[in-house]
Structure 1
Amino acid sequence: MPKVSYPAPAGVLRGYLAVPPTDGPWPAVIVVQDVRGMTADLRRISDRLAAAGYLTLAPALYSRGLRIKCMVSTIRTHFAGTGDSFDDIVAARDHLLADPRCTGKVGLVGFCMGAGFVLQLSPSGLFDASAPNYGLNPKNIDALAESCPVVASYGAKDRITRTGSAAELEAVLAKGGVARDIKEYENVGHAFMNDFGIPAPFTVIERLAAMSYSEPEAEDAWRRILSFFEEHLS
């Protein structure tokens, strides 16, 4: 497994680094995890981006200390809008930019909680494009009028992300003239791009939260992300 460690303000953090099979240099992408952490799905996503030609780093946000403590702290940071997890993601950017194989362009991809982090970081001026997928819009959503280019995907049957989030994001990005591709898929709910392969005891929770992988919509979302990144990160 391509494990990596990199320095961050709160201490060294582990991650998963996926390297393209072609000759570099390459643009870079940071993949921000959902609440489950460093899953096989997160590694597959990172590998997919690397196969498309992006030097890809997925920070393991729960790797600095006891997992449950890290999880609670990361979730709190997500809602607070500040804290170590934001610093960890920015430090991942700095780590990639210091890699001679990186072209100097860095994008962000996130899912669920990770998409929330991505949305909050998109106006920071630190990233060249972002792809938040079914994330909660930040309280200070008006800041996204100054965002980097955004490609975002939502499910109309999502019971976690608030109804109208896609339209709300589209409106604020349009107000700022931000390059964007925002799409809400009618027949899917939360986490439709994440193929977790969840064991049987969790399927009831999945159904209650309208969480289910759907390949047609997931593949269309991936087509849009890769096309958007090709335009804004190349």
Structure 2
Amino acid sequence: MQIQSHEVDLSTPTGVMRCYVYRPKELDAAAPKQYAPIILYSEIFQQTGPIRRSAQIMAGHGFVVVVPEVFHELNPIGTVLGYDNAGRDKGNADKVAKTLEAHDSDAQAILDHLQTLPYCTGRVGAMGFCLGGGLAYRAAMNPAIRATSCFYATDIHSGMVPSNTGNDSLTRTPEIKGELQMVWGKQDPHIPPEGRALVYSTLVKAGVNFTWHEFNGVHAFMRDEGERYDAELQLLGYQMAIGLFRRALY
């Protein structure tokens, strides 16, 4: 399936947010609302090459994919951080500077925009990697999100991203009503076994409909740049996510 892309700037309570939209070219004007949308959350580096390719892969399988600039209020539009020490330090500083509540309002702005697109169905999914995995988990608390796929989601277990007391993602887990898919690397130092165990027990206690997948992989094994990349696990990861969204959103 061939795809096309465009950019859209959305108004949020914390400023203008640039989003990158990828969707199938094949649109039937006589059959509106053809494709289910997915919000795809990036790592702390925003829309890098690997994130863009992830969005293109998902769009090529029949979804409208929206990639927001997760730190839009802290950087000029179009900012992409490097996969190096400077980029990591800046991204981690931005993560601490932005509250979860600001991410919540970002998600709502995207959801509102999706309702205006004639080729989108009303069944929305969320997906993300690293920081984006945690943001996808957070987005799943919005009742409009029907299915969510989180890859090595950071900060859920530790609550590092600032929030008002009692509004952290772990505490609000019972609000997740759609289906959840959690994917982890066993050798990931950012989410140790005890952190994964805490997330798992919280999901069970909350009665969330979820699946849990742990692989022999390090952090960022889905990223097709650098020494952490695992092509076999990446392929399996996309198959799992596509399977979830096709089943839950169509």
Does the 8 Å CA contact 1:21/1:50 hold for their aligned counterparts? no
2:43 corresponds to 1:14: no
Question: Which of 169, 172, 182 is the aligned partner of 2:199?
Answer: 169
What are the superposed Cα offsets for residues 3-51 of structure 1, whole Å, 9 maximum, x if unpaired?
Answer: 2222222232212110113335211001111011110111111111111
Which residue in 2 is equivalent to 1:215? 231
Q: TM-score, normalised by structure 1?
A: 0.82
Give secondary structure in 2 for the equivalent of 1:153.
strand
Greater helix content: 1
1:83-98 matched pairs, under 5 angstroms: 83=102, 85-98=103-116
1:120-199 matched pairs, under 5 angstroms: 120-136=138-154, 137-138=156-157, 139=159, 140=168, 141-147=170-176, 148-185=178-215, 187-195=216-224, 197-198=225-226
Letter in 1 for 2:54: I
C-alpha distance in 1, partners of 2:12/2:93?
16
Which residue in 2 is equivalent to 1:36? 45
C-alpha distance in 2, partners of 1:98/1:145?
29
Give secondary structure in 1 for the equivalent of 2:149.
strand
C-alpha distance in 2, partners of 1:62/1:109?
17
Unaligned runs of 5+ in 2: 28-32, 80-86, 160-167
C-alpha distance in 1, partners of 2:97/2:108?
14
Does the 8 Å CA contact 1:19/1:50 hold for their aligned counterparts? yes
Shift of 1:63: 4.1
Which residue in 1 is equivalent to 2:101? 82
2:63 corresponds to 1:54: yes
Q: TM-score, normalised by structure 2?
A: 0.77
* Distance change (3 Å), C-alpha of 1:142 and 1:72: closer
* Distance change (3 Å), C-alpha of 1:233 and 1:74: farther
Q: CA RMSD in A?
A: 2.4
- Number of positions where the alignment pairs a residue of Structure 1 with one of Structure 2: 218
What are the superposed Cα offsets for residues 106-127 of structure 1, whole Å, 9 maximum, x if unpaired?
Answer: 1111111111112223223231
Identity of aligned residues (%): 23
C-alpha distance in 2, partners of 1:166/1:20?
35
Give secondary structure in 1 for the equivalent of 2:12.
coil
* Distance change (3 Å), C-alpha of 1:167 and 1:225: farther
* Distance change (3 Å), C-alpha of 1:125 and 1:73: farther
C-alpha distance in 2, partners of 1:220/1:33?
19
